[in-house]
Amino acid sequence: MISQASALLKKHYGYDQFRPMQAEVIQCVIDKKDVVVLMPTGGGKSICFQIPALLLPGLCIVVSPLISLMKDQVDALNSNDIPAAYLNSSLSFKEEENIILQCLNGQIKLLYISPERMVQEMNRLLTRLPVRLFAIDEAHCISSWGHDFRPEYTQLKLLKENFPSIPVIALTATADKTTRRDIIKQLNLPNPEVFIASFNRPNLSLSVKSGIKPKERVKDIIEFIADRENEAGIIYCLSRQTTEKLRDALKAKGIKAGCYHAGLPSDERSKTQDDFINDKLQVVCATVAFGMGIDKSNVRWVIHFNLPKNIEGYYQEIGRAGRDGLNSDTILYYNIADLVMLTKFAQEGSLAKINLEKLRRMQQFAEADICRRKILLSYFGETPHENCGNCDVCENPRKHFDGTLLVQKALSAMMRMEEKVGTTMLIDVLRGSSKGELIEHGYNKIKTYGAGADLSFAAWEQYILQMLNLGLIEIAYDEGFTLKITESGKEVLYGKRQADLVQPQVKIAEPIERKAKRRKFAEQGDGNSLFEALRKLRKQIADKERLPAYIIFNDASLREMASEKPLTEEEMLAISGVGQLKFEKYGQEFLTVIHELCYGISAKLTKVNTVEETLILYKQNLSVDEIALKRNLSVTTIYSHIAQLYLKDDITSIENYVSLDEINSVKTALKAIGKIQKLKDVFDFLNAEINYFKIRLALAYIEKNGQFNIVDN
């Protein structure tokens, strides 16, 4: 079964190997077991139910909460020659009727529907359809513990009651343990196999920059983007206002930036989203509301302009980068003002205790002086032994020192000001500033005034954050955010204890190695120009077909084309992400660009060679299957060779492969459609009843024989 699954993986998706866990999950589903899959964003969950859907007879119903995602997912499936459709409120009655009919006729393998609809149809449509598998995507929506609870999802527990014999596969990227347990309980699956993949995403670099004021962050970000021409990214901000200001600042520098938050009209929001997906916007400045509804695989970086509320949210948001597996960068900015604001929010809600605890863990992550990935993964219950080498701490190990004296200076200043000041005033006093308010209070007269003048504001802010984290001081949220000395702080102040501090990272430049790595990566291929040319072609095709560019081929595939420079069909099909149908639709165009740019020759030449190779085997009386096997090509490709050979009169008859009835149907379709752009037009017109290869053969027949002798049969 798994070898069959591997063949489908190659044929439809163009991938050579399953990712960790995919094959095991697929096997279980085929064995009709209920399965729960926990895998990080970008881990490859979709294939876990899409390939079983292809292997099983009948239909797979996919429950998915986001209408906006359904269309993209279905487009992506269709572009891989997998018949899929969706039912949701955006369709007309007629369109729905049509889809239901196709499902009944077995012409559709995957049907996406919303949870509401699923519940309504439980005793109606679903009982009529040949359903063999239920897939519940974003399964965490069923849990009120999760961050995205949807009441409609809770009704899904009725699935098992109503259809005890149909297997259920539930999938989520939620890493939170409570939610995980709750999902299994809520779905009422009697004895599910649970698969938990590692949540590690090694291709994401992790960096934290603390103590940088908002204005400087903007400068820093502009520099960062300048280094990443054409690379898409998302900047998450805490407030709506910040998203707008940031967008304006970026636009002023000529960066194509948009902004997205819940206060904008919905049409504006969807336009921003579409423009981002279609590479018309390079950057979106957004509140957390952005990203759920997009599946863009080539987001190359994610920045948090402010500290996120908790690690789950942070992890999910950075997870939107690098879904194609290519290296991507993430940066988190963080200072005391953010912490103060977030703590205030957390205290206000009904879940204050949990929220404060979660924020505290977030803060610990941000303040980490050991490998950040270790901290992140340990939060999700994994215990990696090695440092990751791809986070700012690994790349720039922190130096510890005895900071007792420094801490004493700060604490003593606080004491002398009767613990009535906040961070900014404390730092100003330590640095000997002559601001009006400081002088008015007479703080310039205390003994520690100016005692820390040798350090920058940012360095002091980082020390104070460390003191907070060490529990030496705390913020009195109910007393105007003034700083207070704790019991252990007093121990340091009175010399009973030492304070271990970490050297601050004032201006963290991107590590030279990473920069070099990225540059090398960007230049892969012919000094980058080949990649750009391929990208341009992809954009033209995407615009013509009205599909997002990454659905044509993702960045990883283009990168591989640019570095491997495939010459022939075989070589092109060996590129990860180039499946059979994709090759047929676009392969030749991409080959042409590669040929012209790299070898200065026309692609036609090699095309003839591969076709002639097929002819040689054909003349040895090998069957199509045998030729395909021998040449390690797909059957569809061999049929397309046969069509070409037939047109050139190298082969005289193709009636063995396509019946006259079928040729007639194609002819009817041709008449009705008029000029056809692509095989898919005919395929769709014929309700997917006739295979692509037969359509191709039929077209060759019609072209060669003229039209007249076909009609009446």
* Residue 426 and residue 473 in contact, taking contact as beta carbons nearer than 8 Å: no
Q: Count Cα atoms within 13 angstroms, Cβ side, for 602.
A: 4
Of 261 and 374, which CB lies nearer to Zn ion in the complex structure? 374
Which among 42-50, 271-279, 363-371, 478-486 is the span making contact with ligand ADP, rule CB under 6 A? 42-50
Q: Which stretch binds ligand ADP (CB under 6 A): 10-18, 222-230, 359-367, 406-414?
A: 10-18
Q: If phi over 0 gives left and psi between -120 and 50 gives alpha, with beta otherwise, what is residue 565?
A: left
Of 442-481, which residues contact ligand ADP (CB under 6 A)? Answer: none
The smaller minimum CB distance to ligand ADP, of residues 147 and 398, is found at: 147
Which one, 8 or 259, has the nearer CB to ligand ADP? 8
- From the list ligand ADP, Zn ion, none, partner contacted by residue 697 (C-beta under 5 to 8 A by kind): none
- Cβ neighbours of 653 (radius 10 Å): 8
Q: How many CB atoms lie within 10 A of CB 584?
A: 21
Q: Give 288 or 311: the residue with its C-beta nearer to Zn ion.
A: 311
Q: Look up tokens 């922190």; give the residue.
A: 398
DSSP symbols for 66-81: -HHHHHHHHHHHHHTT
Residue 391's binding partner among Zn ion, ligand ADP, none (Cβ under 5 to 8 angstroms by kind) is: Zn ion
Which does residue 361 touch among Zn ion, ligand ADP, none (CB within 5 to 8 A, set by kind)? none
Q: Please choose, from the candidates 461, 448, 362, the residue with its C-alpha nearest in 3D space to the C-alpha of residue 405.
A: 448
Which of 176, 324, 329, 428 touches ligand ADP (CB under 6 A)? 324
Choice from 21, 35, 36, 46 touching ligand ADP (CB under 6 A)? 46
Residues 8, 103, 391, 679: which binds Zn ion (CB under 5 A)? 391
Are the C-beta atoms of 557 and 577 separated by less than 8 Å? yes
Q: Which does 19 bind (CB under 5 to 8 A by kind): ligand ADP, Zn ion, none?
A: ligand ADP
Q: Which of residues 495-554 bind ligand ADP (CB under 6 A)?
A: 554
Q: Which residues contact 391 (CB under 8 A, 6 or more apart)?
A: 205, 206, 207, 371, 372, 373
Residues β-bridged to residue 206:
330, 391
174 scored as a contact of ligand ADP (CB under 6 A): no
Q: Is 394 in the site for Zn ion (CB under 5 A)?
A: yes
Nearby residues of 580 by Cβ (< 8 Å), 6 or more positions away: 11, 12, 14, 81, 573, 634, 636, 637
Shortest Å distance, C-beta 638 to ligand ADP: 25
Give whichever of 462 and 576 is closer to ligand ADP, judged by the CB atom. Answer: 576
When the beta carbons of 40 and 504 are compared against ligand ADP, the nearer one is: 40
Residue 43, interface with ligand ADP (CB under 6 A)? Answer: yes
Report the residue number, 51 or 376, with the smaller CB distance to ligand ADP. 51
Q: Distance between CA 243 and CA 381 in Å, rounded? A: 33
Binders in 556-585 for ligand ADP, by CB under 6 A: 576
Of 15, 195, 236, 646, the residue at the interface with ligand ADP (CB under 6 A) is 15
Residues 282-311 close enough to bind ligand ADP by CB under 6 A: 297
From ligand ADP, Zn ion, none, interface partner of 371 (C-beta below 5 to 8 A by class): Zn ion
Contact partner at residue 335 from Zn ion, ligand ADP, none, CB < 5 to 8 Å by partner kind: none
| Complex with ligand ADP: residue 320 or 518, whichever CB lies closer | 320
CB of 378 to Zn ion, least distance (A): 12
- DSSP three-state, residue 257: strand
Binder of residue 394, out of Zn ion, ligand ADP, none (CB less than 5 to 8 A by kind): Zn ion
Taking the complex as a whole, the smallest distance from the CB of residue 554 to ligand ADP amounts, in Å, to: 5
Q: Which stretch binds ligand ADP (CB under 6 A): 17-25, 256-264, 521-529, 678-686?
A: 17-25
CA 471 – CA 482 distance, rounded (Å): 15
CA-based nearest residue to 501, from 528, 549, 465? 465
Is 383 or 713 the residue whose CB approaches Zn ion more closely? 383
Q: Are 573 and 633 in contact (CB under 8 A)?
A: yes
Q: Which long-range contacts (CB under 8 A, 24 or more apart) does 637-642 make?
A: 637/569, 637/573, 637/580, 637/583, 637/584, 638/614, 639/693, 639/694, 639/696, 639/697, 640/584, 640/693, 640/696, 641/610, 641/611, 641/614, 641/615, 642/614, 642/618, 642/697
Find the part of the chain contacting ligand ADP (CB under 6 A) among 43-51, 265-273, 379-387, 589-597: 43-51
Shortest Å distance, C-beta 17 to ligand ADP: 6
DSSP, collapsed to helix, strand or coil, labels residue 502 as: strand
Size of the site for Zn ion (CB under 5 A): 6
39 binds, among Zn ion, ligand ADP, none (CB under 5 to 8 A by kind): ligand ADP
Residue 691 CB coordination number (10 Å): 17
The yes or no reply on residue 180 touching ligand ADP (CB under 6 A) is no
Rounded to the nearest whole angstrom, what is the least distance from the CB of residue 277 to ligand ADP in the complex? Answer: 14
Question: Closest separation between CB of residue 418 and Zn ion, Å?
Answer: 42
Q: Which does 46 bind (CB under 5 to 8 A by kind): Zn ion, ligand ADP, none?
A: ligand ADP
Task: Return d(Cα 624, Cα 633) in angstroms, integer.
Answer: 10
Q: Should residue 44 be labelled a site residue for ligand ADP when binding is judged by CB under 6 A?
A: yes
DSSP output for 339-407: HHHHHHHHHHSTTHHHHHHHHHHHHHHHT-SS-HHHHHHHHTT----S--SSBHHHHSPPPEEE-HHHH
Q: Does 368 bind Zn ion (CB under 5 A)?
A: no
The token pair that represents 335 in the structure block: 């200072």
**Using CB under 6 A, which of the segments 12-20, 269-277, 509-517, 536-544 binds ligand ADP?**
12-20
**Residue 58: Cβ within 10 Å count:** 15
The CA distances from residue 102 to 86, 131, 416, 687, 690, in Å, are 12, 13, 79, 8, 14
Q: Are 51 and 28 contacting, i.e. CB atoms less than 8 angstroms apart?
A: no
| Burial (CB count <10 Å: 0-12, 13-18, 19+), residue 354 | middle
C-alpha span between 40 and 373 (Å, rounded): 14
User: Binding residue for ligand ADP (CB under 6 A) from 5, 10, 11, 18?
Assistant: 18
Q: At its nearest, how many Å lie between Zn ion and the CB of residue 375? A: 9
Ordered DSSP codes for 641-659? HHHHHHHTTSS---TTTS-
Residue 82 makes contact with ligand ADP by CB under 6 A: no
**CA atoms of 314 and 644, how far apart (whole Å):** 54
> Is residue 371 close enough to count as binding Zn ion by CB under 5 A?
yes
Strand partners, 245: none
Q: Is 204 in the site for Zn ion (CB under 5 A)?
A: no
> Residue 424 is inside which H or E element, if any?
helix 423-430
Asked if 30 is part of the footprint of Zn ion (rule: CB under 5 A), the reply reads no
Question: Binding partner of residue 644 among Zn ion, ligand ADP, none, CB under 5 to 8 Å per kind?
Answer: none
Kindly state the smallest distance separating residue 315's Cβ from Zn ion, in Å. 15
* Strands of the 257-260 sheet, one edge to the other: 204-210, 328-334, 299-304, 232-236, 283-286, 257-260
Question: Alpha carbon 637 to chain centroid distance?
Answer: 32
Number of chain residues interacting with ligand ADP (CB under 6 A): 19
Residues at the site binding Zn ion, with contacts judged by CB under 5 A: 371, 373, 387-388, 391, 394
Binding site for ligand ADP (CB under 6 A): 13, 15, 17-19, 22, 39, 41-47, 297, 323-324, 554, 576
